[in-house]
Structure 1
Amino acid sequence: MTEPSSSPTGAVRLNKRMAELGLCSRREADDWIAQGWVRVNGKPAEMGVKVTPNDRIEVDKAAKGQQANQVTILINKPIGYVSGQAEDGHDPAVMLFTPQNRWAEDNARFFFSPQQLRGLAPCGRLDIDSTGLLVMTQDGRIARQLIGEDSVMDKEYLVRVAYHGLGEPAPTGQLVRLDDDDPVTTNVQAVFPPAMLARLRHGLSLDGQALKPARVEWQNPEQLRFVLTEGKKRQIRRMCELVGLKVVGLKRVRIGRVMLGNLPVGQWRYLAPHEKF
């Protein structure tokens, strides 16, 4: 007689299943299980247990109450700050998260508390020489939504550019820069080849990988609007270099449905309960 399988088809660890259901992050799930706040089919869950889609998962009100107190903040990051840990003498953007820097027009119900700095992590990077919307959160559900492996969240940027022109491709296939010392900085749209705009939208590769299609259009004669669904390191700057453009200013203005809006540079506000990415 065959012994029943200890790992039924489709079974996954409980913390992974809870994250897939959008209940919490895996780390939170482990914490809740340890606290005795999770039941599977009516019984207290054990750490590391595996479940199937047919198993009933219940979460105690205490866990949901703890989650309700987690904050997500939006910072208009200035130039000179890094998104994550301090590096090369530059301060991390989280240092801006102080009562003094809170936007006066923020009407969210939260009151600032030092506890809100615990576990606060950036959801994606914004280069040191870029400005605009940076999201930091204690909520693993939001982090997964913005930077999870399966995330396809739109991110919108306004990008001021100068044009150096392009020569013939070198034998290596790299594009050759022409007027490095005298770039076009006004009415760039008039001299930038439409074929190169098409390449920005689709057809470029970075680090040996083809980039996903992007929405790229002229916002004004010196500024492009990019909408990306991926976030490789310095992606927009590197994309522009491949078509003879130099980025002279970059600002992120939207992530999903959340806009930077009128949030001043260097200030922050809470994500309101009604706002959804």
Structure 2
Amino acid sequence: MRLNKFLSDAGVCSRREADRLVESGRVSIDGKPAMLGSQVEEHNRICIDGKEIQRQERKVLLLFHKPRGIECTADMRVKKNVISYVNYPLRVYYAGRLDKDSEGLLLLTNQGDLVQELMKAGNFHEKEYVVTVNKPVTEEFMRKIREGVPILGTVTRKCLAERVGNTEFRIVLTQGLNRQIRRMCEYLGYEVKRLKRVRIMNLELGELPVGQYREATQEELSELHKLLEKSQKSRQEGREKERYAGGKPVKNAGKYRTPSSWKKKTGKAGKNGGLKKNG
């Protein structure tokens, strides 16, 4: 198999990060420097910084309540890196980032293919956040957040958002631009004081204490794989539609739905921003 897939399956890092390690000269195969695209076999001795890497058998998916101040990096030179903080007995890697000043749900796993699927923006996977800002949230502010805000040379996707307090709102994103929520709020004249991720797809933070982790349940894993299969199918159908449309872009066919937690609270789908939207 390709070297980057081997390292990903071993729980070392994502495939992209594996390529970076190879480019920096930190990876060797049987004592010789590895090259991008190298193929490896079972008998090869793969090392990073001279330490041999073994493929892991037991696959895990951890839900971790990341505290503020912990950095999403596998660089052990960073004092407060998330890998050292969790100190899990198997080698795991984070799937999706939370910036240093943010808190909440972070997924860690040793399944490289799972990381790849979770991080694909084209899959429109939902991520839900609770955000506290520095001044009262107005309906005009919420409307603009839902409709899309120009940042980083693009306009953010339409999204679900609802006001839940004088200076607090919930938002569900299906993309992961760098510091997206903070940039959206800044563009509209607001400053984020606290940002907490509470859900990724069907995986919820719930009452998990800050700094603690737990393994995903079998029920959660089953539902997660169903959602991933569904998104893969939708993506393939989108490519087929685009091909038959002469190469013209086709909007994602999936629709946002009001999260069940919002329905329980409001009693109605569609209230306070709980709208169905095309991707």
Q: State how far apart, in whole Å, the 2-side matches of 1:214 and 1:90 are.
A: 36
Decide which structure has the larger Cα Rg and report it: 1
Q: State how far apart, in whole Å, the 2-side matches of 1:249 and 1:216 are.
A: 16
Is residue 97 of structure 1 aligned with residue 86 of structure 2?
yes
The Cα of 1:214 is off from its aligned counterpart by 1.4
Unaligned 5+ residue runs, structure 1?
Answer: 1-13, 19-24, 37-65, 99-111, 164-187
- Divergent runs of 4+, >6 A: 30-33
Q: State how far apart, in whole Å, the 2-side matches of 1:216 and 1:90 are.
A: 35
Percent identical: 33
Q: Which residue pairs with 1:77 in the alignment? A: 66
Per-residue CA deviation, residues 15-48 of structure 1 (Å, 9 max, x unaligned), is 8xx9xxxxxx989xx9998349xxxxxxxxxxxx
3-state secondary structure, aligned to 2:64: strand
Q: Which residue pairs with 1:220 in the alignment? A: 165
- How does the TM-score come out when normalised to structure 2? 0.57
Is residue 137 of structure 1 aligned with residue 109 of structure 2?
yes
Q: Which residue pairs with 2:257 in the alignment? A: none
Q: State how far apart, in whole Å, the 1-side matches of 2:117 and 2:164 are.
A: 28
Higher helix residue share: 2
Q: Which residue pairs with 2:149 in the alignment? A: 204
Is residue 236 of structure 1 aligned with residue 181 of structure 2?
yes
Is residue 34 of structure 1 aligned with residue 78 of structure 2?
no
Q: How many residues align?
A: 181
**Any conservation in 1 of the 2:121–2:175 contact (CA below 8 Å)?**
no
Q: State how far apart, in whole Å, the 2-side matches of 1:199 and 1:149 are.
A: 22
**Aligned residues: CA RMSD:** 3.0
Counterpart AA for 1:124: G
Q: State how far apart, in whole Å, the 1-side matches of 2:184 and 2:76 are.
A: 25
Q: State how far apart, in whole Å, the 1-side matches of 2:40 and 2:217 are.
A: 28
**Any conservation in 1 of the 2:65–2:103 contact (CA below 8 Å)?**
yes
3-state secondary structure, aligned to 1:254: strand
Q: State how far apart, in whole Å, the 1-side matches of 2:191 and 2:76 are.
A: 25
**Any conservation in 2 of the 1:145–1:153 contact (CA below 8 Å)?**
no
- How does the TM-score come out when normalised to structure 1? 0.58
Unaligned 5+ residue runs, structure 2?
Answer: 6-13, 19-36, 44-54, 225-279
CA 1:260/1:32 → structure 2, altered by over 3 Å: closer, same or farther? Answer: farther
